[in-house]
């Protein structure tokens, strides 16, 4: 039996979620989505500056991949400011 070599790598996954997004969307859907997209855009640039790659943004969540846990922790420490304030 021929064994196919596996391509393996260690990855660190960072998952970010917007707390209170349902309430924000219920108050002002358009503004809530604009704020979340702006926050994820900013955070994606921060993630890249620490050597990570944003893999997916869906709804109120972001998933990023890093090679080193220390880089993921450093990027997480620079997450966008609180976007939970009232979307008026």
Record the pTM: 0.79
Q: What angle do CA 84, 25, 13 make, to 5 degrees?
A: 65
The answer to whether residue 47 is domain-embedded is: yes
Q: Enter the tokens of residue 63.
A: 């998933």
CA distance 65 to 28: 31
Return per-residue pLDDT of the chain as tens, 88 residues: 678 888 888 899 999 998 888 998 999 999 999 989 999 999 999 999 999 999 999 989 999 999 999 999 999 999 877 644 444 4
The answer to whether residue 67 is domain-embedded is: yes
Task: Give me the CATH number covering residue 37.
Answer: 3.30.70.1230
**Boundaries of domain holding 16:** 12-76
pLDDT of residue 1: 65
The answer to whether residue 85 is domain-embedded is: no
Sign of the CA dihedral 63, 69, 70, 71? negative
71, 50 Cβ separation under 8 angstroms? yes
Q: Where are the beta strands (DSSP E) in 1-88?
A: 12-17, 53-58, 61-66
Total domains in the chain come to 1
């Amino acid at each position: 039996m021929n064994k196919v070599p596996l391509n393996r790598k260690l990855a660190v996954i960072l998952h970010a979620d917007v707390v209170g997004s349902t309430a924000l969307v219920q108050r002002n859907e358009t503004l809530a989505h604009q704020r979340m997209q702006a926050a994820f855009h900013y955070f994606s640039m921060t993630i890249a500056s620490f050597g990570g790659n944003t893999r997916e943004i869906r709804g109120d969540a972001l998933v990023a991949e890093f090679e080193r846990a220390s880089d993921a922790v450093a990027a997480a420490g620079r997450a966008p400011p609180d976007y939970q304030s009232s979307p008026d």
